[in-house]
Chain A
Amino acid sequence: MAEDDGAASQRLNSGAGVIDGESEDKANISRFKAEGRELSKEEKQRLRKEKKQHKKSKKDDQGKTEEIKGKEKKSTMTSDRQQAQTNLPKAVPALNSFETPVTGDKAPSGKSKAEIRAERRARQEADRASKQVQKGESSVTAAVSGPSKTKAIPSEPQPVVKRLPEHIQVDDPAVLKKLAKKLERQQIPLRKDYGNKVSLFSHLHQYSRKAPLTQQMSIPSTVIHPSIVRLGLQYSQGIIAGSNSRCIALLHAFKQVIRDYSTPQNEEMSRDLVNKLKPYISFLNQCRPLSASMGNAIKFIKKEISNIPSNSREEEAKVQLHESIDKYIEVKIHLAAKAISKYAIEKISDGDVILVYGCSSLVNYILCDAYEKKRKFRVIVVDSRPRLEGRESLRRLVRKGIHCTYVLITAISYILPEVSKVFLGAHALLANGYVMSRVGTSQIALLAKAFNVPVLVCCETYKFCERVQTDSFVSNELDDPDDLIVTKRGETPLENWLEVSHLHLLNLVYDVTPPDFVDLVITDLGMIPCTSVPVVLRVKNVDQ
């Protein structure tokens, strides 16, 4: 604890030497990071405070000493307010914005500044408490997007600040700097982009599989739980691929994390565990951008954790969390697949020729189920480079005994006249009815429309997301460009593509299909036209 005392004395003396105190603390913190030790809460707070101080000392030189003294007192109130804040699902920036106007005021010398501040703080707490009572537990997204910079009165219309997610702003250096700072604070290494990017997609990350994130981390890492490290590696190397499998693997890893978690002293499990999960999610995001299904699963887990009653014991809470996660997987994924299969079977008649693309776990399940129920049909599996996922699909169907044909996507205009139906899986269904799926799906849907072949998309409701997208450029994922390099007859033409400055390789992962090309969407709630997705989202939100 000698270090803490020293740091505290530094704070008291910092009237004279703010800069010195800061740099020493920074040296300490970088030393801790190098050792892989997790920063304690006070150290993190101190870092944040010093950065703010630095900014403010540039602004006004007058009340510097008083402010710093006030901040000291505030450090205890800050931690309380932080905990109150995480109850309301507001982001930490809101806290900072509250502090600035309060400390900016120069009170008359009659009352002591600390007393005035204490009064103001009490008033703010009362306001916030009444606001919480009025609003109840309103949606997380609304709260995050609109931190008010002035008063916390609910009747006033708040200016809603919409923020673009950082993973589609890679060409903006300010956003990159913010991301680097955030990762540094969470002690996660930043993954470097690789290779020349096509200019149309320069706003997206492009990573190489040969440089996994874990090379920059020390082993064993105490910051990230080992099952999460393993999961991140499995994602980035492509060992676990496919929307459902990624989501299930994520939930199992989180179950392990919860099992190994122990609540530290003076902390509440519901708040602390959610904060613990944040760096894990950033880490997984760095390994491979999160899918829509994973995003929804994470929202669900965070809601479950923050709903733990504060008086329950740790063991009970853990068991309850495990049960709810198991139930989520069972209901939203496995039972949903059964329901979808029941509806889909009505659409498969004897003598059908069904076209499928790539490997969708749901479509494969439907076809195997239909075969078991003695429907007579044959399947055409369409595949595309570089992933060649259709081979896995082919393997599963042939093993079942279904008659299959295998073609590459370049041949679809040749075989479409034979096809009676097209079954497609989906990565996510967007709020305006667009279907986001593996790249190549929209091409198949377009051609099927031209040949008047009905297109059916199968998607569970947990993959429905509130996003709206009309093209495949704005938000997508760029895979490792080295995958496009192929060696044929001993020659590898693209071997040295990095050296050719005007050559760019593009390996897209997703594309977006407009609803005009999709005839029917089969979900666990029934068969709906593509334009009715917002209705389902609305009904779901009402249920939850």
Chain B
Amino acid sequence: MNDEELVAYFKTQMQENPDVASAVAAIRTLLEFLKRDKGETLLGLRENLTKAIVKLTSVDSSVAVSSGGELFLRFISLTSLEHPDLSQCKKVMIERGELFLKKISLSRNKVAKLCHTFIKDGAKILTHSSSRVVLRVLEKAAAAKKRFTVYVTESQPDCTGLNMADALRKLHVPVIVILDAAVGYVMEKVDLVIVGAEGVVESGGIINKIGTYQMAVCSKAHNKPFYVVAESFKFVRLFPLNQQDVPDKFKYKADTLKKSNNLAEEHPMIDYTPPSLITLLFTDLGVLTPSAVSDELIKLYL
């Protein structure tokens, strides 16, 4: 399976299942790649997989694709691959890959189950841009007969917040769309803030759509709880010290990186929120404080 087929398969996966996270689509692609790979040695197989992950990140430069890919690779190699026959090893790896895929497809429901109890009746919730995990949480809370209102930011430059508002209106949840600049204005009215994450870093901070950091700072100033919902495959082995420290390949869209001459003039798509501003993280591994994320990462990666 060469590069074009890889990218094409990935794109079709994304189109067919818009509800699914891009990382899941990437992992499905990698699994297909593994099945079709004609390598002769285990090491060659791993190298091919790593190259495939790099190729996928160049198509869709989200943090989750890279973190999901690396976790996938670790998960399938974590078993004993002592079989003398390569096809036997490959079979084991493919089985584990399917298992991994099944686990992460269920993770969103697990997160929703944990988080919806934190939404009390009559609550006013503020959220940022469009996150499918947050949508699932709110769905579950609505199904539990809770009454709440949601404020969504418009989230320029791509106005994805409007998609979130449409989806919520279909659930008959009262929604108000606000400007990105009005976050500070609205903060005193809301009870809690829930956002998704594109990546969760080692320090317990998150990488998310630009504007999240502002919202976190405002909520800290008003003493409102700031909750993050994220699946565990988004945990990534980065440790940014500040906004500058986030690697460029995540900050900008893939095509911007290829086309632009001077990155300083481009607008970054994500920002980094430090752990001191986050109250709790809801993941399929449980409800974690930011300092516990590092423990979980050590368990996952080491």
Contacts and interface: CB of A to CB of B under 8 A. Distances in A.
Interface stretch (A19-27, A119-127, A273-281, A531-539): A531-539
A532 B241 contact: no
A520 interface: yes
A454 B239 CA distance: 12
B298 A539 contact: yes
Nearest to B291: A531
A421 B241 contact: yes
B298 A529 contact: no
Contact of A532 (B242, B245, B295): B295
A503 B27 CA distance: 71
B241 A454 contact: yes
Given A520-B203, A527-B202, A532 B298 contact: yes
B294 A529 contact: yes
The bracket for how many chain B residues form the interface is 10 to 19
Contacts of A456: 241
B204 interface: yes
Contacts of A535: 294-295, 298
Contact of B291 (A454, A532, A536): A532
A118 B83 CA distance: 60
Nearest to A421: B241
A534 to B, nearest CB: 9
A536 B297 CA distance: 12
A462 B275 CA distance: 28
Contacts of A528: 202, 294, 298
A30 B246 CA distance: 70
A435 to B, nearest CB: 16
Interface in B234-250: 239, 241-242, 245
Contacts of A536: 298
Interface in A100-145: none
Nearest to B241: A454
A421 B275 CA distance: 19
Contacts of B245: 347
The bracket for how many chain A residues form the interface is 10 to 19
Contacts of B241: 347, 421, 454, 456, 519-520
Contacts of B298: 528, 532, 535-536, 539
Contacts of A531: 291, 294
Contacts, number: 38
Nearest to A456: B241
Interface in A378-427: 421
Contacts of B204: 529
Interface string B270-302: 000001100000000000000100110010001
Q: Which of A456, A516, A525, A532 has the most chain B CB atoms closer than 10 A to its own CB?
A: A532
A421 B295 CA distance: 25
B295 A454 contact: no
Nearest to A346: B239
Nearest to B289: A531
B203 A529 contact: yes
A535 B293 CA distance: 11
Contacts of B239: 520, 527
A283 to B, nearest CB: 40
Contacts of A519: 203, 241
Contact of B294 (A421, A532, A539): A532
A527 B302 CA distance: 12
A454 B276 CA distance: 14
B138 to A, nearest CB: 31
28 contacts: A347-B241, A421-B241, A452-B242, A454-B241, A454-B242, A456-B241, A516-B276, A519-B203, A519-B241, A520-B203, A520-B239, A520-B241, A525-B302, A526-B302, A527-B202, A527-B239, A528-B298, A529-B203, A529-B204, A529-B275, A529-B291, A532-B294, A532-B295, A532-B298, A535-B294, A535-B295, A535-B298, A539-B302
Q: Which 6 residue pairs are nearest across A and B when measured between Cβ atoms?
A: A454-B241, A531-B291, A532-B294, A527-B239, A529-B203, A535-B295
Interface of B: 202-204, 239, 241-242, 245, 275-276, 291, 294-295, 298, 302
Given A421-B241, A528-B202, 14 more contacts: A347-B241, A454-B241, A454-B242, A516-B276, A519-B203, A527-B202, A527-B239, A528-B294, A529-B202, A532-B294, A532-B298, A535-B294, A535-B298, A539-B302
Interface of A: 347, 421, 452, 454, 456, 516, 519-520, 525-529, 531-532, 535-536, 539
